[in-house]
Structure 1
């Protein structure tokens, strides 16, 4: 085992993207996940002399530290849902209802996880989708950990039991309950085949063009029939092409049709930052939007209007005209 900080950091660094993804899935917060990865590294450094490579890999050892750090953190944190997992569907023209002090699920920038780069090769894109991470929030902390370890990271039942410091029977029981709960909340219906990354981005680029032209029919033509839109921190959400079109017509009437859109990537999904032209002539940051694209079209749009989310993505408050 390495005996210097530099040597040890060199061994740990390749695992950083997947550990960050793991902590993010567990907690649904980018800042919390980053803090827990740092805590994992600190704990690993302090315990480095106890690591025995003959009893398991460095990766498994790090996951044990990270998972237990997450479980401890979840003792004092509430779950981070999306509106569609907390309240009933609303009419698209209903006045906005703010969610108050609810801590919502946050999107995570692809760049933090090195998605698309060799450094992020171990990170499973499909397990980062907002709908899946939101569904994980319906599980208890240990159910969440068991499901992620077994079905996302493909650990054996024995390996998962070692990470969680419990029995194989306990892991299997937690996994069974987790699967049943996910089926109950409908996440299995969301696990459909997706187009390629290039096809998804091309679809969203067509959406962006229609958005910039305030082309309601153009937008509608890119949507799946059961498309869902939600907008944390407000509680409002709705389903269906017609509702979506009605809402977008209201948006362009209320906020104008002069927009600038900058592409972003979050949770392995395409999206954009939307800037609305204000009275000063500058384009002011309005929302960050993330899309789920299926063969049937855009099936989910999650719209964030939150300063903390904007900061995570490094978005400027305004964009030149």
Structure 2
């Protein structure tokens, strides 16, 4: 192949395959539970696809072909048998506000930035639903092949025969795996939280009130915003809390000074989220955690605070919060105010009488 032909082939490959990059990223995230690993696997998928592009005969759609490559790459990456849990998936809750030390050696579930979802509105709604945090955490309870079967059948709506061909197994085996996966998923994630639109006014007010109370270290207001059975967890710290009183008791030991935290709105896993910055000794607010909220009606049912500053670039967030610029006064306003001040105590000019 000449260099010119190779360049043209590369341009065609990029033009035809780039539209699927974001949905493949979401698929790899569902499989792996890590946005960083998902990004690496998508890169690997495109490299493998480019190398095999000359042999692509069009027996399936290009999209299906790419999903096959990505799924095989994810299954290979999962051969070591690890899963990425949340603290609530490992042990019971604590009633002691003192927490255990972080466990960075554990591979924890990571949040997924909504800005990386497919740009098409219809695809975005579905992607937000199938990447929500509870669903992503529940998927981690499934063995890798069951996870793949469930995602290919229930999320991507593949036929059982297509999945069987990809996994080198029988249709009966695929159907059996799907039944087991659905049952285990229902046990791990029995309550499906409602994915609400970002513009929903009640949702927006609830989220804004939470952010303000968090920044103000206003524990009573925070507790009023929580459901009775609210959960608070914060990987890589394994300790977690269940119940509004226990969550409030823990937060009271951490949020003591107003304005020590700064909350910058974002969204993750189809849910409201914040980039949380903590004030350090230099007086500036540094990257601290990505906080994801799960809403239940007019209250907050779960707070998941990912203590991992390395997530901030993925969310397009800086490592330090920008300091608000002081408001500058309009020179004309200053002059008017000074003039008014200098005239204080003086009698006003006589009013004109008009006939």
Q: Is the shorter-chain TM-score for this pair beyond 0.5, marking a shared fold?
A: yes
Equivalent residue for 2:62? 58
Measured against aligned partners, the alpha-carbon deviations of 1:108-164 in whole angstroms (never above 9, x if no partner) come to: 21122245x559648521111112111111111000000111111122222222333
Q: 2:320 aligns with which of 299, 318, 321?
A: 318
By how many angstroms is 1:71 displaced? 0.5
**Gaps spanning 5+ residues in structure 1: where?**
none
Q: 1:194 to 1:222 in 2, by over 3 A?
A: farther
Structure 1 residues 93 and 122: CA distance shift in structure 2, 3 A: closer
- TM (norm. structure 2) is 0.82
Residue of structure 1 equivalent to 2:344: none
Does residue 244 of structure 2 align to residue 236 of structure 1?
Answer: no
| Residue of structure 1 equivalent to 2:215 | 212
Asked if the contact 2:233–2:305 (Cα under 8 Å) also holds between the matched residues in 1, the reply is yes
- In 2, the alpha carbon distance for the partners of 1:194 and 1:311 equals 25
The secondary structure found in structure 1 opposite 2:109 is coil
Out of 76, 93, 103, the position equivalent to 1:99 is 103
Distance 1:63 1:89, change over 3 A: same
Q: What residue is the counterpart of 1:68 in the other structure? A: 72
Equivalent position of 2:37 in the other structure: 32
Unmatched segments (≥5 aa) in structure 2: 1-5, 324-355
> Which whole-Å deviations, capped at 9, do the CAs of 1:69-104 have from their partners, x for residues lacking one?
110111136111111001221125133332241011
* Partners of 1:89 and 1:97 in 2: CA distance: 15
Quickly say closer, same or farther: Cα 1:314–1:77, change in 2 above 3 A. farther
Please say if residues 92 and 244 of structure 1, whose CA atoms lie closer than 8 Å, have aligned partners that are also in contact: no
Q: Following TM superposition, by how much is the alpha carbon of 1:179 offset from its aligned partner in structure 2, in angstroms?
A: 1.4
Q: Which residue of 2 aligns with 1:15?
A: 20
1:297 maps to 299
Give the match's secondary structure for 2:199.
Answer: helix
Q: Which of 111, 114, 121 in structure 1 is aligned with 2:115?
A: 111
Once residues 122 and 91 of structure 1 are traced to their aligned partners in structure 2, the CA distance between those partners, rounded to angstroms, is: 37
Alignment check: 8 A CA contact 1:17 1:119 kept: no
Distance in structure 2 (CA, Å) of the matches to 1:152 and 1:224: 30
Q: CA deviation at 1:168?
A: 1.2
Q: Which residue does 1:125 correspond to in 2?
A: 128
Q: Is the contact between residue 276 and residue 284 of structure 1 (CA under 8 Å) also seen in structure 2? A: yes
Aligned to 1:79: 83
Which structure exhibits the higher relative contact order, with contacts defined as CA atoms closer than 8 Å and separated by 6 or more residues?
Answer: 1
Larger radius of gyration: 2
Distance 2:167 2:198 in 1: 34
SS at match of 1:94: coil
Matched, 1:141 2:144: yes
When residues 92 and 264 of structure 1 are mapped into structure 2, their CA distance, relative to the original with a 3 A threshold, is farther
3-state SS in 1 of match to 2:238: coil
Tell me how far apart the structure 1 counterparts of residues 279 and 87 of structure 2 sit (CA, whole Å): 28
Question: Residue 225 of structure 1: which of 219, 225, 228 is its match?
Answer: 228
